[in-house]
Amino acid sequence: MPLYDYRCDACATEFEARRAVEARDEAPCPKCGGIRVTRAMPLVVTYVKSGRQAQPAPEGCCGGFAEGAACACAARA
């Protein structure tokens, strides 16, 4: 069962509850017992691990990219 984040409309308590998908909107508040709750959207963070280090842009370059060129500044020159 998924874990959902909720906020109670009555007492503003934020809590998590493990609920079945079909019962995801039915989570009573553990503090006041209120049944009017709002399901919060969780913050999702993704980390990408790469073996390469980012290289700084060449001096005088804006760091932008143009189609078919490594640098938008170089493409204009």
- Residue 68's pLDDT is 52
- Phi and psi dihedrals of 23, rounded to 5? -115, 20
The DSSP bridge partners found for residue 10 are none
- Residue 41's pLDDT is 78
pTM, 2 dp? 0.51
- Residue 77's pLDDT is 47
Rounded to whole angstroms, how far apart are CA atoms 42 and 27? 16
* Tokens describing residue 38: 């709002």
- Phi and psi dihedrals of 50, rounded to 5? -130, 145
| pLDDT digits 0-9 by tens, 4-52 | 999 999 999 999 999 998 988 889 999 999 999 999 876 666 667 766 6
